[in-house]
Structure 1
Amino acid sequence: MATFSAVTRQHILRAIEEYDDRGRDAFLGVYGFTPAPGATLTHEGRTYDARAILGVAHRYATGRVATSEEFHDGAAGAAALLRKRGFHASGSEPAGATSSRTTTARRTSQRSASPRSAPRRAAAEEEPPAVCPTCFMALPATGVCDTCG
């Protein structure tokens, strides 16, 4: 599941620039997106596919393209995120779709009502990596420094 917290306005602008350079069909084809008329982004008078732009912006932010299946809130979620970054976006959910926020709220209220809620354990501390005493580089799994031998 992709998280979009690393995606900034600059990443989105780079994705828009690439969309303009490649053209709509080539852009969608290269990254494996299909046209999604329910989710649009309007920038400087041009209309773009919001999910594809956001997926490629995710690539600029993290190095990995977010696929259309990873948009857990669908078109509405993509549009909301783009609006948070200062863009004009519209998105609609298919008829009968339930918002992820509503589902999450239901799960949270069900969990809090459960008398068997177990407290979370703290994450185990990681040991620091072994370091070469000569060059102070992290040692590989063999324990022999690649630089010093």
Structure 2
Amino acid sequence: MATFSSVTPSHILQAIAECDRRGGDTFLKLYGFAPTAGYAVVHEGRSYDTKAILGVAHRYATGRLAPPDEFSGGADGAAKILRKRGFEVTTPPGATAGPRRPARASSARGSAARGASARSTAAPARRAAAPERPVDLCPTCFMALPATGVCDDCG
């Protein structure tokens, strides 16, 4: 079973760039993914298959393609992971983008007390994340290079 903890936004962008270079249909056929209707990752105004992009991004991150039968492309699969990495994912008609919290009923008398306690326990602002270092790729096979800088496959 594929895990996607090592997949970063940089790996996803590499997969999107490869899809652009090869063309969508060729990209899907090359990696064994079938076109899917519904969820799509949107980048710079273009839509891409969530499952194929994440599977190939996994290849850039680990050197191993995540085959289509090892993970889902739906709301709790590829779409969720891509959203967590900061990408826009469209939701098919009739589906929800994720779990919704019910709205809380508030009373005029209790809202002032809740507002005071919320201000006193508010979490501090998050620091901006450090920019990611781009992954070095082998110029021949486009696999991620190990720390040595020498491709394990091409030498």
Is residue 22 from structure 1 mapped to residue 22 from structure 2 by the alignment?
A: yes
Q: Normalized against structure 1, the TM-score is what?
A: 0.59
**Matched positions, count:** 93
Instruction: Structure 1: give runs of 5+ residues left out of the alignment.
Output: 96-149
- Paired AA for residue 84 in structure 2: K
Tell me by how many angstroms 1:38 deviates: 1.9
Partner of 2:74 in structure 1? 75
Q: How does 1:122-141 map to 2 (within 5 A)?
A: none
| Identical-residue share of aligned pairs (%) | 63
Q: Which protein shows a greater Rg?
A: 1
Contact 1:78 1:91 in 2 (8 A): no
Report SS of the residue matched to 1:66: coil
Q: How does 1:1-149 map to 2 (within 5 A)?
A: 1-72=1-72, 74-76=73-75, 77-91=77-91
Contact 1:50 1:78 in 2 (8 A): yes
Question: What per-residue deviation string (whole Å, max 9, x for no partner) do you get for residues 42-64 of structure 1?
Answer: 00000000100000000000011
Distance in structure 1 (CA, Å) of the matches to 2:31 and 2:43: 21
CA-atom RMSD in angstroms: 1.8
Tell me by how many angstroms 1:91 deviates: 5.0
Tell me by how many angstroms 1:39 deviates: 2.2
Distance in structure 2 (CA, Å) of the matches to 1:36 and 1:68: 11
Instruction: Structure 2: give runs of 5+ residues left out of the alignment.
Output: 96-155
Report SS of the residue matched to 1:47: strand
* Higher RCO (CA 8 Å, separation ≥ 6 residues): 2
Report SS of the residue matched to 2:47: strand
Tell me by how many angstroms 1:37 deviates: 1.1
Question: What per-residue deviation string (whole Å, max 9, x for no partner) do you get for residues 53-107 of structure 1?
Answer: 00000000001111111115x4112111001101001356xx9xxxxxxxxxxxx
Q: Normalized against structure 2, the TM-score is what?
A: 0.56
Distance in structure 2 (CA, Å) of the matches to 1:51 and 1:75: 8
